[in-house]
Amino acid sequence: MPELPDVALYVERAGERLVGQVLRRVRLASPFVLRTAVPPIAEAEGRRVVGVERLGKRIVLALEGERWLVVHLMIAGRLRWMEPGKKPPGRITQATFEFDTGTLALTEAGSQRRAALHFLGSREALSALDPGGIDVAAADLVTFEARLRLENHTLKRALTDPRLFSGIGNAYSDEILHRARLSPVALTRSLPPADAARLHAAAREVLAEWSARLAAESPGWPEKVTAFHPQMAVHGRFGQPCPVCGSPVQRIVHADNESNYCARCQTGGRLLADRALSRLLKASWPKSIDDL
């Protein structure tokens, strides 16, 4: 799923192209992508784009007359920009937004249709879509720590909870926890203040660094938005060497979510129990990275 650095880049690039432009036509290739019925989507046509914003992991096109188009890419959704006269890709296109200068297409690969489009007619309706997470980049340590300890969850779950923190998902939570040298299953209310401060600093550093890296790699429209980058420390690198200590990166899998971590850097060498494998292997499950 595109996370804060990717979504922020989409917002920046879309703002450069669309602010001041009139939305001429909206085409829905799939009727299921539109999740609202009032006001009708036809009311978006003929309105000028006055701003492009980020709302958590959502991308918001603000239109004149207090109307908002809100796109949630979910896992496989992407935004593509096409110059005038170029056709959008056939099967994966869910919606297109046509301007004089080009067309913005919402695409979604795969068979599951999770990407969503909302057309809203009030600021209250837009606010209702905001899960309430704080922007880590703008939050001081006191605010960050208070939000972190609001409920007693694992650090991984807390960082990826959109009600607590804005825009952080599976990929960057792995990178943040590795940078902070903290276990993904450590509990928020048991975390020492020094560790909370290190987590706060790591979150700000990782998100800022990756935002700058992605912007530098995509001076034009971002074409290759992915949660997996070879430069990442641990995310998506199961079995590969940790860039800090050289130990093989480990993982724990729960349902559709996977956490990648370095046992030597983050858990004192202890291997975390993978729910499926540890039950299968039972007594044979290795307890430490050295046993492995």
Domains in the chain and their CATH numbers? 4-128 (3.20.190.10), 136-284 (1.10.8.50)
Structure confidence at residue 291 (pLDDT): 59
Asked if 237 contacts 249 with a C-beta cutoff of 8 angstroms, the reply is yes
Rounded mean pLDDT of 91-112? Answer: 93
Distance from first CA to last CA of the chain, Å, rounded? 31
**How many whole angstroms separate alpha carbon 47 and alpha carbon 2?**
28
Which of 35-44, 84-93, 94-103 is the least confident region?
A: 84-93
pLDDT of 279 reads: 46
Residues 68 and 122: their CA atoms lie apart, in Å, by 8
Would the pLDDT of 273 be above 90? no
Strands (E), 16-87: 25-28, 49-55, 58-63, 67-72, 77-82
Residue 280's pLDDT is 43
| For residues 2-17, average pLDDT | 96
User: Quick one: pLDDT band at residue 243, thresholds 50, 70, 90?
Assistant: very high
- CB distance 100 to 22 below 8 Å: yes
CA 81 to chain centre: 20
pLDDT grade for 30, boundaries at 50, 70 and 90: confident
Contact present, 70 and 118 (Cβ < 8 Å):
yes
